[in-house]
Amino acid sequence: MLRAARLRHPDRLAVVSGTTRLTHGELHTAVTVAGRRLEGLGVRAGDRVVVQLPNCAEFVVLVLALLDIGAPPVLVLPGFGDYELGHVVRAARPVALAVSAGSRSSGPVESARRLREDHETLDHVLALGDVAAGDLDLAALCDPGAPWDAPVGPASSAHPRPGRGSALTDAAVFLLSGGTTGPPKVIPRGNAGYAYMIRTACGIADVSPDAVYLAVMPAAHGFVLNCPGVLGTLAQGGTVVLGDTTDPRQALGLIERERVTHCALVPTVAMQWLAAAEGTAADLSSLRVLQTGGARPAPELAARIGPELGATLQQCYGMSEGLLSYTGLDDPESVIVGTQGRPASPMDEVLIVDEQGRPVADGTTGELLTRGPYTVAGYYRDPAATAKAFTPDGFYRTGDLATRTPGGDLVVNGRVRDIINRGGEKIPAEDLELLVARHPDVRASAAVGAPHELYGEVVCLYVVPEAGREPTLLELRRFLRGLGLAVWKLPELMESVAQLPTTAIGKIDKKALRADIARRTAVEA
C-alpha cells in the first residue's frame, strides 16, 4: 500500500521537515536504501526495532524501511523516559534501538547505550544527533547520498517477496498502550487489519492525493500515525508536514506556508490554537479537517472550532488496541459537537455493559467493549495483561465509560477508574469537568478524588484560571449548583495551578494529580 503510493506519485511532495523536502520518488529511494542498509546490519524479517524519535524525516524513512523489510518498528513516544523505555525493551526484545539526542531531557542516547549493554538481543544503537563510537549514524542510514561503511543487503532485497514477514497475521508495527494502568504494554498490529484500518480512516477523513497533513503531536502515537495520519496520507500520495512543536504561533504559520488541509490535536492543544487564532494574521483557509482525539472536548470548545478556524471538526475516539470511532464530516452539528461518532467499520462490534458485564440499553452509561477486524487479540508476550483486558470471546475491555445514542453515536464519559467514590456515591470526573468548563474564569480543569477519612474520597478540583482571574472554590460551587449539579457532587477542595500535568501524548495526567492531592492532604493532616 505505502510502496505502491510512492511509485504511483513519484513527483508529488511527500515529506516536509524543517528545510528537508522529499518527493514520493525521493522518499522511495531513501526507504529502499535504508532497508538494504538495515539488512546489511543483520536486521531480518520479524526482528523488532525500537524507534524513539521526534517528528522528523528520519522517523518516516526508518519506519517505512522497517515496514518494507518486514521488521516491525516498536514505536515509543519521545517523552517516555528510562523507566518506560526499559520496560519496552524487555518486552519487545529488539535487535536495534533508534533514538535522538533531542527526544527527551534524560539522555536518551546514553540510556540506549546502557540498554545495549544489558540486553543481549540489542545489537545496535541508531543515534540521531549524538553519534559516538559504537553507535550507527541514523541520519546517514536514512540519506541515500551519505557515505555508509557498514555492509548493505543485496539490491533485490528491498523488493517484496514471499516469506519476508508479510503474512497477513504478522505484526506490521508495534504500538504502545496509554500506560494509564501501569507500564505501557506492547501491542502487535497485524498487516491485514492495520492496512484495512488505515484505508478506512482515509475515506472517513477525506484524505486524498491532494491532502497535506500536519503532524505536530508525536507521530509515534497511533492517533497521528494511522487515523489516518502520517501513514494514511502517504498511502494516498499526499504530503506530510512534520512539526516539532504544538506552539500555535509556529503551527499556524506552517498551515499557511504549506497549505495544510488536515491536522489532529488533543483538546488541550486545540484550545491553545483557538486562543492564538483570534489575533493571528495567518491564512488558515486551506484547513479542511481538524481532528480531536485523546480526550473528549467540552462541547463549548468543540462548537468554536468550525467558526473560528474555518475547518470541519472531526471527533475521533479510539485506542491502540483497536476500535476507531469518528464523527462524519457531513454529520449534523449536534453530532459533531456532542459525540465521538460511530465505529469506522461496519464489522466493528461494540458492547456497552454494566458492572456485571450485562449489556445496557441505549442512553445508559457502561463500560465499552469492542472487537472487530482490526482489534488485536492480545498484548505481545504478556498473557497476564491479555487475560485481564480481553474477554474469553475476544472483546477488548476498553476501560472507558460510554453511552450510545439512539442514532448509534458514541458518547465517551470518562474512564471506569476515573470515578470518584464519595461515600458510595459515584461521581464521573469528566461530567464535572465539562460543567466547570462553562465558567468564564476557568481555562482548564481536572477533577480527582482526594482521600477523606469519613467518605473515602471527596472531589478535588484542579483549576487553571483565565489570565487575571482567580475563581474561588465557593464561587465554583455556587456556579455548579446553579447548573443543577447535586450537592454531593460538588468539589470540596480546589487547587489553582498554572498548568495541568500531561502525559507524553498530551492527556491530563490524573495519576500525577491524585498523587499530588494525596501528598497535600497527608501533609495537612
How far, in whole angstroms, is CA 313 from its chain's centroid? 17
Domain, as residue range, for 469: 419-524
Total number of domains in the chain: 3
Question: Would residue 409 be called left, alpha or beta, if left means φ above 0 and alpha means ψ between -120 and 50 degrees?
Answer: beta
Do 33 and 169 fall into the same domain?
A: yes
Helix, strand, coil percentages (3-state) for the chain, rounded to 5, are 35, 25, 40
Query: Would you call 93 helix, strand, or coil by DSSP?
Result: coil
Do 432 and 330 fall into the same domain?
A: no
What is the CATH classification number for the domain harbouring 331? 3.40.50.12780
Do 378 and 432 fall into the same domain?
A: no
- Return contacts of 281-285, CB within 8 angstroms, 24+ apart: 282/252, 282/253, 282/255, 282/256, 283/256, 284/252, 284/255, 284/256, 284/309, 284/310, 284/311, 285/310
**377 belongs to a structural domain:** yes
Of 380, 415, 450, which residue is a domain's last?
415
Do 354 and 498 fall into the same domain?
A: no
**10 belongs to a structural domain:** no
Beta strands in 394-473 (DSSP E): 396-404, 410-415, 419-422, 425-428, 442-452, 456-465
Of 357, 380, 415, which residue is a domain's last?
415
**Rounded to the nearest 10 degrees, how much is the dihedral formed by the CA atoms of 389, 394, 396, 402?**
-130
Helix (H) or strand (E) holding 24: helix 24-40
**220 belongs to a structural domain:** no
Contacts of 29 (CB under 8 A, 6+ apart): 144
DSSP states along 372-407: -TTS-SS-TT-HHHHHHHB-TTS-EEEEEEEEE-TT
**3 belongs to a structural domain:** no
Do 254 and 398 fall into the same domain?
A: yes
**298 belongs to a structural domain:** yes
Do 403 and 425 fall into the same domain?
A: no
pLDDT tens, residue order, the chain (525 aa): 788 888 899 999 999 999 999 999 999 999 999 999 999 999 999 999 999 999 999 999 999 999 999 999 999 988 787 778 888 999 999 999 999 986 544 466 777 888 888 888 899 999 999 888 889 999 999 999 999 988 888 875 544 433 344 566 689 999 998 755 557 899 999 999 999 999 999 999 999 999 999 999 999 999 999 999 999 999 999 999 999 999 999 999 999 999 999 999 988 899 899 999 988 899 999 999 999 998 888 899 999 999 999 999 999 999 999 999 999 999 999 999 999 999 999 999 999 999 899 999 999 999 999 999 999 999 999 999 999 999 999 999 999 999 999 999 999 988 887 888 887 677 888 889 989 999 999 999 999 999 988 888 899 999 999 999 999 999 999 999 998 887 888 999 999 999 999 987 788 999 899 999 999 988 665
Do 465 and 405 fall into the same domain?
A: no
CA distance 375 to 395: 9
**520 belongs to a structural domain:** yes
What is the CATH classification number for the domain harbouring 479? 3.30.300.30
User: What is the value of pTM for the model shown?
Assistant: 0.84
**233 belongs to a structural domain:** no
CA distance 204 to 340: 13
Q: Give the end-to-end CA distance of the chain in Å, rounded to a whole number.
A: 61
Do 517 and 477 fall into the same domain?
A: yes
CA distance 521 to 472: 19
Do 363 and 410 fall into the same domain?
A: yes
Query: Taking the alpha carbons of 379, 384, 389, 395 in that order, is the dihedral positive or negative?
Result: positive
Residue with cell 481538524: 290
Do 183 and 278 fall into the same domain?
A: no
Contacts of 134 (CB under 8 A, 6+ apart): 113, 125
What is the CATH classification number for the domain harbouring 118? 3.40.50.980
**172 belongs to a structural domain:** yes
Of 415, 445, 466, which residue is a domain's last?
415
Do 330 and 301 fall into the same domain?
A: yes
What SS3 string covers 186-202?
EEEEEHHHHHHHHHHHH
Do 411 and 423 fall into the same domain?
A: no
